[in-house]
Amino acid sequence: MGTEISQLELDLEPVEHIVNQVGRKIDSVVPILQAIQQHYRYLPEAALRRVCELTEISPAQITGVSTFYEGFRHRPQGRHLLSVCHGTACHVNGSGMIQDAVEQALNLEPGADTDSDNRFTVVRAACFGCCTLSPVIRIDQETYGHLTAQDIPSTLGDFLQTASRPAFPWESGSDQQKGASRRNLNGDRKRDEIHIGLDSCCVAQGCGKVYGALADVLQATGADVKLKQVGCQTMCHQTPLVEIVPANGPATFYARVKPENARDLVLQHFRPRGVARRVGHWLSRQIDRWHSDEVDSPLQQHRLDMRQGSVCKFLGRQKHIATEHYGRLNGLDIDEYILSGGFQALRTCLTGKEPSAIIDDVRRSGLRGRGGAGFPTYRKWEMMSQQESPVKYIICNGDEGDPGAFMDRMLLESFPYRVIEGMIIAARAVGAHQGFLYIRAEYPAAVRQMSTALERCRKHGLLGERVMDTEFRLDLSIKQGAGAFVCGEETALIHSIEGGRGTPRVRPPYPVESGLWGKPTLINNVETYSLLPWIFRNGADAFAELGTESSRGTKVFALAGKVVRGGLIEVPMGVTVREIVEEIGGGVAPGRRFKAVQIGGPSGGCVPAELADTPVDYESLAAVGAIMGSGGMVVLDDTDCMVDIARFFLRFTQNESCGKCTFCRVGTKRLLDIMDRICTGKGRSGDLKQLEQLSGMVSAGSLCGLGKTAPNPVLSTLRHFREEYEAHLHGRCPAGKCQELIHYEISRDCIGCTLCAQHCPTDAIPFTPYQQHKIVDDKCIRCDTCRTVCPESAVIITSGESPTALSCLS
């Protein structure tokens, strides 16, 4: 009865409109659901029933699909959606405490996800790919990074105060900039420029606000400067990064710029236009001088010398192919892309090379799939080109879901044309005329950039009936995921595009034989496609010269975690883990000990510090129990618990299991049960043996890669850090991470300042001014607040009656 009443109340007109727009076929189900959710903010049952009446979609299908993907809600949602990121980097930087703090700040009832005022609905997110800002939360479109538990109440307040502003102010100005760049292309006049990265993680870091401030100052001063949004500048640890590019002369970089620096920054480099403005400017400078002796110094602090050691080290070992021209191009400016050599490779492939020659070049380049498994790209293409089907499809796998990896998002946002160019080349080589970019829903900016880029390509004759005025025809469109990691598996991805639950199937037949709608289908990863233009412009041999014998070329990594200089790096294969962590990344924080690097995310493993000289190539990494994976690289130090890390990844895969096959659905759950026991001090003597045995069987027996690789983080940590597991069995977490095994205590260094008592959210610390404070263990929720506020480092974490790594510097 209840549903009938709500059906009467609910206005279902929009559903008809959505169906008319999206389509009525079975494969329209995901976009329809997304549109319904966008409209109603959840999926009302009445709306779903209506969809079944209006389309070919059956009740069983819509039920199965809408409950499969994490992105769909079946209950009404609060006014704002607050997602707490639980990616790897966020996890090691305390996302658990952030989650607790959010729930506490909103006073959520146990089990509830929405606060009583219906303002916020809180969800856990797998990874936003903003790893260098960890820990991160996202409220609607706003992302907040580098948070601590204490920041949460003020962050929520800040959000509510500013919630009314438009989401992407800089996007409205894009047309004007387009005109500007056109002038530039025509060589009319070269202008001074200010570059600022507007990738989604840059925005989260505050680049959007800096952009706004700069735009305001430029408007006010009337300076003749082009404010240009560029793609990823790769140095995430320095963002917001502003580059002043004068028409003549060298560029100047400013790192970690704040909106309040905008005025100084502009005035330092550019003269205001008009006499009145100049006089005003001169006057205000004089007044500033009068007030302060060191007017220039605040700005000087932000100035970044590109010849400086740390920058050189960060960039020194890198080789930019997929990320060529990083930080220079406006991702959506097609003219600029063409001007920098874009689509030359495509022209060569369309007019100068037969498909077989293209495939042969790819073979000579030694390119292997960058999605993780490293299958030789040419072999897939060759198998594909041998299929005698009149209809073939090409798919770009942009379902990057590994927590801790964000290379593909960056490539899609910053270099959309490069990805498209690579796809067209591949399509031409294998004879496909229709293709899809499957992009995960957690990457809204990538979807926006890519849709615009595709539209512009169509207008420029780069897609459509005659690509670059040749006989070759190709159409590409976007298919969005809806929150399921398993859809990165190619057969699951195909099911998802077809409108089904994203479950994998047994292979063979491989997608190249029978893929999307039963037709031969080529699926490559974003990075793989984006390497192709370079290869065809510079020659297969130039690419093959880079890297090692078996692993040619470069690989993009997302370097994050406990490293000083996090960011997106592209290195030739074969550099060592140590070079990446210590030279490029600048090592771990002073006083900490580098312990391991987690490579390959939930399918990968840990390379311990002792094996840091392992070269980064497919085979060497596999030999030490890690995998290349898609390129997440999370650095861990002595305060990270390896058992906890293994449990984190296992929990991730267990949660992402599609539930189809026994070994993955139940096996990963039972593995997690054991890991939970170990991390909570309830481990039993036979647990490690059981872990190893069951891990082996889950690997062998699971149907797809997700289950087959799920035990890897456990196996690799058991291999390199067995003593930590054993310590846990004896009730001790050496790193001081596992909450059930640790206690907070206050040492004699306490000066009785009461800060800890004031900040403790559960009143576990009695207020005793000028005396050594004490923590009541039963009340302590291990939120770490006291330790972070203590000015004397007097709060220590003990486990098994001795101090842990978290309370002493090594």
Partner 1 sequence: MPIVTIDDKTIDVAEGTTILDAAAALGIEIPTLCYLKGYEPSTSCQVCLVKDRKRNLMLPSCATRIVDDMQIDSETEEVHTMRRTSLELLFSDHVGDCLAPCFFACPAHMDIPLMLEQIGEEQVEEAIATVKRDIALPAVLGRVCTKPCEKGCRRKGADGAVAVCELKRFVADTDLTRPEPYTPPCKPDTGKKVAIVGAGPTGLSAAFYLQQEGHHCVLFEKAPLAGGRLRTDTDPDVLPPRVLDAEIQQTLRIGAELHPNCLVENLDDLDIEFDAILLACGQLTEEQSTSWGIKSTKRGIDIDKETLQTSRNRVFAAGSCLRAKSLYVRSVADGKLAAAAMNEFLLGQPITPPVSRFSSRIGALQADEAHQLAEASGHAARSLPTPGSEYSPSQAMAQADRCFSCGCISHGSCKFERIAIQYAADPTRFAGERRAVEVIHRPGGIQFEPHKCIKCELCIQIAARGGESLGLSFVGRGFDVELGVPFDHQIEQGIARTAAACVAACPTGALVFSREHQRMVKLESGNRVNKDAIQ
**Could you count the other beta carbons within 10 Å of the beta carbon of residue 691?**
23
Please report how close the Cβ of residue 481 comes to partner 1 at its closest, in angstroms. 14
d(CA 275, CA 639): 59
User: CB-wise, 62 or 267, nearer to partner 1?
Assistant: 62
Please report how close the Cβ of residue 59 comes to partner 1 at its closest, in angstroms. 4
User: CB-wise, 500 or 585, nearer to partner 1?
Assistant: 500
**Could you count the other beta carbons within 10 Å of the beta carbon of residue 109?**
11
User: CB-wise, 115 or 656, nearer to partner 1?
Assistant: 656
Nearest to 220 by CA among 277, 264, 157: 277
Residues with Cβ within 8 Å of 154's Cβ and at least 6 positions away in sequence, in order, are none
Q: What is the DSSP string of 98-123?
A: HHHHHHHHTTPPTT--B-TTS-EEEE
User: CB-wise, 7 or 798, nearer to partner 1?
Assistant: 7
User: CB-wise, 14 or 701, nearer to partner 1?
Assistant: 701
User: CB-wise, 607 or 703, nearer to partner 1?
Assistant: 703
Please report how close the Cβ of residue 69 comes to partner 1 at its closest, in angstroms. 8
Please report how close the Cβ of residue 14 comes to partner 1 at its closest, in angstroms. 19
Please report how close the Cβ of residue 592 comes to partner 1 at its closest, in angstroms. 36
Please report how close the Cβ of residue 672 comes to partner 1 at its closest, in angstroms. 9
Residues with Cβ within 8 Å of 57's Cβ and at least 6 positions away in sequence, in order, are 24, 26, 28, 29, 32, 51, 499
Q: Is the peptide bond before 272 cis (omega within 30 degrees of 0)?
A: no
User: CB-wise, 60 or 275, nearer to partner 1?
Assistant: 60
Distances, alpha carbon 302 to alpha carbons 66, 216, 237, 265, 633, in Å? 48, 20, 13, 10, 28
For 80, the enclosing helix (H) or strand (E) is strand 80-85
d(CA 331, CA 808): 45
CB-based contact 484:68 (threshold 8 Å): yes
Please report how close the Cβ of residue 467 comes to partner 1 at its closest, in angstroms. 37
User: CB-wise, 179 or 686, nearer to partner 1?
Assistant: 686
Nearest to 626 by CA among 580, 564, 591: 580
Please report how close the Cβ of residue 71 comes to partner 1 at its closest, in angstroms. 12
Distances, alpha carbon 225 to alpha carbons 252, 270, 737, in Å? 15, 8, 50
Please report how close the Cβ of residue 66 comes to partner 1 at its closest, in angstroms. 9
Spacing of C-alpha 397 from chain mean position = 15
User: CB-wise, 218 or 694, nearer to partner 1?
Assistant: 694
Q: Are strands 242-245 and 192-197 parallel, antiparallel or unpaired?
A: antiparallel
User: CB-wise, 64 or 246, nearer to partner 1?
Assistant: 64
User: CB-wise, 280 or 681, nearer to partner 1?
Assistant: 681
Please report how close the Cβ of residue 379 comes to partner 1 at its closest, in angstroms. 16
d(CA 233, CA 722): 39
Q: What single DSSP character describes residue 293?
A: S
Please report how close the Cβ of residue 739 comes to partner 1 at its closest, in angstroms. 20
Please report how close the Cβ of residue 679 comes to partner 1 at its closest, in angstroms. 16
Based on C-alpha coordinates, what's the Rg of the chain? 27
User: CB-wise, 394 or 487, nearer to partner 1?
Assistant: 487
Residues with Cβ within 8 Å of 687's Cβ and at least 6 positions away in sequence, in order, are 674, 677, 678, 729
User: CB-wise, 658 or 790, nearer to partner 1?
Assistant: 658
Please report how close the Cβ of residue 478 comes to partner 1 at its closest, in angstroms. 23
- The contact set with partner 1 (CB under 8 A) reads 3, 45, 48-49, 58-64, 67-68, 484, 501, 505-506, 508, 654-663, 665-670, 673, 694, 697, 700-703
Residues with Cβ within 8 Å of 299's Cβ and at least 6 positions away in sequence, in order, are 254, 261, 264, 265, 268
CB-based contact 18:32 (threshold 8 Å): yes
Distances, alpha carbon 739 to alpha carbons 100, 332, 428, 620, 653, in Å? 13, 46, 55, 35, 22
Apex CA 42: angle with CA 395 and CA 502, to 5°?
A: 30
Q: What is the DSSP string of 487-555?
A: GGSHHHHHHHHHTS------SSSPTTTS-GGGS-EEEEEHHHHHHHHHHHHH-HHHHHHSB-SSSBSEE
Please report how close the Cβ of residue 603 comes to partner 1 at its closest, in angstroms. 16
User: CB-wise, 61 or 88, nearer to partner 1?
Assistant: 61
- Residue 701 is encoded by which pair of tokens? 């027996």
Neighbouring-strand partners of residue 744: 797
CB-based contact 616:628 (threshold 8 Å): yes
